[in-house]
Amino acid sequence: MTNILNSGAEPPKVKLVTEVWGPIQSLMAARRNVLEIIPLAATKQPIVSGRTVQVRWHMVMEPDAIGQVLKEKLDIYPKSDVTKNLLKPAIGDSMFIAEGAHWRWQRRAASPVFTHRNIANLAPIMSTAADATCMRLDNANGTVDMYEEMVAATFEVISNVTFSGTGAMDSAEVHHAINRYIDQTARISLFDVIGIPTWVPRPFRLFQPNALKKMKGIADTSIRKRREQGAKPIPDLLDLLLDGEDPETNRQMNMAELRDNLLTFIVAGHETTALTLSWALYLCAFDPEVQDKLRIEAQSVLQGRSATAEDCAHLPYTEQVIKEALRLYPPAAFISRTAQANDTLCGREIKRKDTIMLPIYALHRHHDLWNKPDQFDPERFANGYKPKRYSYLPFGDGPRICIGAQFAMIEAVIILATLISRYKFTRIEGHDPKPVMVLTLRPEGGVPLKVTRL
Ligand code: HEM
């Protein structure tokens, strides 16, 4: 069965369910691609509820109700139990999954790490990664899987802002360990998140203890060495985190907390940014007019050099294209929570222990919120247009909004503008990527594009 629709005017999307499916049919579909279990109604209704064997779930698409979940009633809607149980072996009780006071102090301690100034200081690492990608593309011949390339580029960035310079390991070994680590984290079935019973076979079951141990060992060695050596001349994420302190309690992170948060940055920030760039490049190939317009902007600002943080303010169209890529293919396509008390959302009764899903993929294609929702149109974001609050959530919202959003946006703008200014990307007929939800929204089959040096 093919689930890809490609009507010419619209880039690939998942065919959403139109009929009522029984539990077994849902399970079968969900094992293929979690996005397939989103009913088409989720792009037209404010709330859709159902039950999957053990759990009552509600998909919420109405912006005010989403605001209740993400901001107003944070205590009633903490991160889902299953997300926490699954991620804990990998990233401990780090900022991503901690709740209440333990989350709050970590978030306060880490916030200064991601100030605009600190990110701008680290941006040369992003420009260097863009240049390194160009060198690889110059040596490649014709068709290149741009997903693999973007994973390599964002890996270079994240490893250079976390582990580099400590001599903890050689970079190939770190790369290998991180890849295995992320792969295992990403393979956690989204089914787990919506409470599919454990007897349903998963393609991959949790983490191999060895890969986890290896990764934690690398992180621990890096932290220890950096403590001995002192901060780098331009402090990176590890230095800034080592320095971080909760201004209210003066508490600093201990070794385990530092390591868990550092690993969280890697898991949360590496592949998500690679996906953003891969989908953006695919969309540029899909719509050559957009690509031409992007190139005119990039070439006139960059004049042959690679992009820097200072250029970002002068690359508004590049930012629009990235925002539109994040709308159509949000890397975090689901946000999930477990209700801790009875409540009402959109007039529907929510019971304690119900799973609340915010299907960002469906929200971003909702017919009440977006004009021609399935079409690629970066003009939607022209002139700094801000969508209605809680209708556009690639980075979530409320107090638990992505702490690395600005880091990711600057990185994506720098890499996309640099590449587009130097290469033409052409779509390969019959090889359009299919959006598939693992833990993130990935392009099945990669993003093979013909790359031509200009
Ligand atoms: C395009 C790239 C990225 C996307 C789409 C993305 C998306 C998200 C989303 C949707 C959330 C909220 C999850 C929820 O509420 O359940 C989140 C949280 C988080 N993200 Fe990102 N992220 C990206 C890049 C990054 C980067 C680069 C970093 C760090 C270097 C990062 C670190 C985090 C952390 C630590 C949290 C948890 C924050 C908290 O709970 O206080 N992310 N991200």
Q: Summarize pLDDT for 366-387 with one digit per residue, the tens.
A: 999 999 999 999 999 999 999 9
CA-wise closest residue to 184 among 104, 89, 107, 324: 89
pLDDT tens, position by position, 244-301: 999 999 999 999 999 999 888 887 888 899 999 999 999 999 999 999 999 999 999 9
Contact 161, 122 (CB under 8 A): yes
Best probe residue, ligand 1, of 402, 406, 410 (max atoms within 8 Å of C-beta): 402
Strand partners, 359: 334
Output 329 or 85, whichever has higher pLDDT: 329
User: In the predicted model, is pLDDT for residue 167 greater than 70?
Assistant: no
Distance 400 CA to ligand 1 centre (A): 9
Q: Which amino acid belongs to residue 225?
A: K
Contact 376, 268 (CB under 8 A): no
Protein residue with its CA nearest to atom 13 in ligand 1: 396
* Highest mean pLDDT of the ranges 31-45, 49-63, 121-135, 191-205: 121-135
Which architecture does CATH list for 4-453?
Orthogonal Bundle (1.10)
- In this structure, of 242-251, 267-276, 311-320, 389-398, the range with the lowest mean pLDDT score is 267-276
Residue 103: its pLDDT value, please?
A: 95
> Domain spans of the chain?
4-453
User: In the predicted model, is pLDDT for residue 26 greater than 50?
Assistant: yes
- In this structure, of 177-191, 246-260, 331-345, the range with the lowest mean pLDDT score is 177-191
Angstrom distances, CA of residue 425 to CA of 146, 283, 452:
10, 10, 7
User: In the predicted model, is pLDDT for residue 7 greater than 60?
Assistant: no
* Highest mean pLDDT of the ranges 1-5, 7-11, 172-176, 308-312: 308-312
Distance 265 CA to ligand 1 centre (A): 8
| pLDDT confidence band for 446 (50 / 70 / 90) | very high
* Highest mean pLDDT of the ranges 164-168, 177-181, 216-220: 216-220
Residue 340: its pLDDT value, please?
A: 96
List ligand 1's pocket residues with C-beta within 6 A: 79, 95-96, 107, 264-265, 268-269, 272-273, 276, 331-332, 335, 394-396, 400, 402-404, 407-408
